[in-house]
């Protein structure tokens, strides 16, 4: 049923009915691990993100084609264009679901029930199906029917209240972290459900919500509130519970310093030429340094501004203090470690060009991630998939004429 790739999930087929980011990202992770992922898109326009540019991947003639946003979340998938509102289109989806192990969708609550493509409908004839729904607020509760967007959830979850400079406005994280973390937790839920099915034969429903995930992902910041009783405040790049653990301005830029214990603090003070700070009893322990950060941090900052970033990177490396620069995205890809780890993967694209993609970060010694298919063109594999369903060319032509497929 699935393409043999040698990946740990190469025995699975995933039907991806989702679009934009959270659902497609989950599907891409499963595809990278070997699953045969079939991406279902609207005829004509496809996934909304195909138009979310510039920048666009250019074809061999230099013409803009596929948006970078779309390309980033749809590797290792096959695309078929099906109109879910069309009765014949619904029949195709039901046939695909019957041959799939997992369904992923991110329609509004109840959005697929009217087409008979919700979990209760599909699981009647396929009790082993794993069905993962990704929404903004989950399948129940007072906000369940509201549309969920990453930006809105970053605000609702409390994340933006702790992101930004002290005294400045709340700031969202620079990437769609609510979408991405929900996708990753969704994959964990899917794998757990598959493990349960392996033992019992039972499929199940996986209900994922951006708000739930983003709130759980606040980790120690949530616990600071639950234990301390006060909501954490914005403190820029500083750490609420560790000092010094932030970036410092240098002569020509910034350097990040992460001092995790008292021994490191002593070495750090020696390295920056301020041994008196290490001898000051007000800074002997991390708890004391946190309480006196308003005095300690300016004293450190004054020292750090005396030299260049390159100087401090060399000095702190010599004394084994955790540190690093603040790279641009381009500088990050040029970093020797990122190059060594193969974080850029170039793939041949059907447009006749090479498309760069970002590597999957999972490294498995026996069943490694594979990069089998570049992000597909809209409907690129439609005939291939319909052949697998036993739909002959004459019926395919009829379905295209009816508008059920693209």
The helix (run of H) or strand (run of E) holding residue 122 is: helix 119-125
Same domain, 178 and 92: yes
Contact (Cβ atoms closer than 8 angstroms) between residue 94 and residue 117:
yes
Which pLDDT tens digit goes with each residue over 37-80?
Answer: 999 999 999 999 999 999 999 999 999 999 999 999 999 999 99
- State both tokens at 295: 């005095």
How far is residue 58's CA from residue 26's CA, in Å, rounded to a whole number?
26
pTM (2 decimals)? 0.93
The answer on pLDDT for 4 being more than 50 is no
How far is residue 323's CA from residue 316's CA, in Å, rounded to a whole number?
7
The answer on pLDDT for 2 being more than 90 is no
The answer on pLDDT for 215 being more than 80 is yes
* Domain termination residue (choose one: 325, 351, 374): 325
Q: Is residue 383 part of a domain?
A: yes
Same domain, 209 and 87: yes
Q: Is residue 348 part of a domain?
A: no
Same domain, 22 and 89: yes
What pLDDT is stored for residue 199 in this prediction?
A: 98
Q: Is residue 352 part of a domain?
A: no
Same domain, 196 and 275: no
What pLDDT is stored for residue 395 in this prediction?
A: 92
Domain that holds residue 144: 13-218+362-402
Which pLDDT tens digit goes with each residue over 230-260?
Answer: 999 999 999 989 999 999 999 999 999 999 9
Q: For residue 260, what is the domain's CATH number?
A: 3.30.1540.10
Residue 294: which pLDDT band, with cuts at 50, 70 and 90? Answer: very high
Same domain, 92 and 200: yes
Same domain, 139 and 195: yes
Q: For residue 183, what is the domain's CATH number?
A: 3.40.50.10540
Same domain, 161 and 208: yes
Same domain, 44 and 114: yes
Residues 90-110 as b/e (b if ≥16 CB within 10 A, e otherwise) read bbbbbbbbebbbbbbbbbebe
Q: Is residue 349 part of a domain?
A: no
Same domain, 76 and 163: yes
* Domain termination residue (choose one: 325, 353, 370): 325
Catalytic residue (choose from 32, 179, 207, 247): 179
Q: Is residue 290 part of a domain?
A: yes
- Give the total number of structural domains in the chain: 2
The SS3 call for residue 54 is coil
Same domain, 372 and 312: no
**CA 297 distance to own-chain centroid:** 34
Which pLDDT tens digit goes with each residue over 157-169?
Answer: 999 999 999 999 9
- Mean local confidence (pLDDT), 208-225: 96
- Mean local confidence (pLDDT), 15-26: 98
Which pLDDT tens digit goes with each residue over 108-145?
Answer: 999 999 999 999 999 999 999 999 999 999 999 999 99
- Mean local confidence (pLDDT), 148-156: 96
How far is residue 150's CA from residue 172's CA, in Å, rounded to a whole number?
10
Same domain, 320 and 369: no
- What percent of the chain is modeled with pLDDT above 70? 99
Q: Is residue 130 part of a domain?
A: yes
The answer on pLDDT for 3 being more than 50 is no
Same domain, 50 and 191: yes
Q: Is residue 185 part of a domain?
A: yes
Contact (Cβ atoms closer than 8 angstroms) between residue 73 and residue 25:
yes
What pLDDT is stored for residue 5 in this prediction?
A: 55
Block residue for tokens 């250019």 = 58
Q: Is 179 a catalytic residue?
A: yes
* Domain termination residue (choose one: 304, 325, 346): 325
Exposure of 368 by Cβ count < 10 A (0-12 exposed, 13-18 middle, 19+ buried)?
middle
What pLDDT is stored for residue 240 in this prediction?
A: 87
Q: Is residue 275 part of a domain?
A: yes
Ramachandran region of residue 80, left (φ > 0), alpha (ψ -120 to 50) or beta?
A: beta
Which pLDDT tens digit goes with each residue over 346-380?
Answer: 999 999 999 999 999 999 999 999 999 999 999 99
């Amino acid at each position: 049923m699935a393409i043999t790739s040698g990946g740990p999930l190469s025995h699975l087929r995933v039907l991806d009915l989702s679009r934009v980011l959270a659902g497609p990202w989950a599907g891409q992770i499963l595809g990278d691990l070997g699953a045969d992922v079939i991406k279902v898109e609207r005829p004509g326009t496809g996934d909304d993100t195909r138009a979310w540019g510039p920048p666009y991947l250019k074809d061999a003639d230099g013409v803009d084609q596929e948006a970078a946003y779309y390309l980033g979340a749809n590797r290792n998938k096959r695309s078929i264009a099906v109109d879910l509102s069309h009765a014949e289109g619904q029949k195709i989806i039901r046939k695909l679901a019957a041959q799939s192990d997992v369904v992923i969708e991110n329609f509004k609550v109840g959005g697929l029930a009217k087409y008979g493509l919700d979990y209760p409908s599909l699981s009647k004839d396929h009790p082993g199906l794993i069905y993962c729904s990704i929404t903004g607020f989950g399948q129940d509760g007072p906000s369940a029917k509201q549309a969920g967007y990453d930006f809105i959830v970053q605000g609702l979850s409390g994340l933006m209240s702790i992101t930004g400079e002290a005294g400045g406005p709340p700031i969202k994280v620079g990437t769609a972290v609510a979408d991405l973390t929900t996708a990753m937790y969704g994959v964990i839920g899917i794998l757990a459900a598959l493990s349960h099915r392996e033992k019992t034969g039972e499929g199940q429903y996986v209900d994922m919500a951006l708000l739930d995930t983003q709130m759980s992902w606040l980790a120690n910041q949530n616990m600071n509130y639950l234990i301390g009783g006060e909501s954490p405040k914005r403190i820029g790049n500083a750490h609420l519970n560790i000092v010094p653990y932030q970036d410092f301005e240098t002569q020509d830029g910034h350097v990040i310093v992460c001092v995790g214990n008292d021994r490191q603090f002593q070495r750090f003070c020696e390295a920056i030429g301020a041994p008196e700070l290490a001898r000051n009893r007000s800074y002997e322990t991390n708890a004391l340094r946190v309480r006196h950060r308003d005095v300690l941090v300016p004293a450190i900052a004054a020292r750090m501004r005396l030299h260049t970033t390159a100087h401090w990177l060399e000095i702190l490396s010599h004394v084994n203090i955790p540190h690093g620069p603040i790279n641009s995205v381009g500088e990050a890809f040029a970093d020797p470690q990122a190059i060594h780890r193969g974080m850029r993967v170039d793939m041949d694209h059907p447009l006749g060009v090479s498309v760069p993609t970002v590597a999957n970060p999972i490294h498995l010694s026996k069943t490694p991630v594979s990069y089998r298919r570049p992000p597909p063109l809209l409907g690129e594999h439609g005939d291939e998939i319909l052949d697998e369903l036993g739909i002959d060319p004459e019926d395919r032509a009829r379905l295209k004429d009816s508008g059920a497929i693209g």
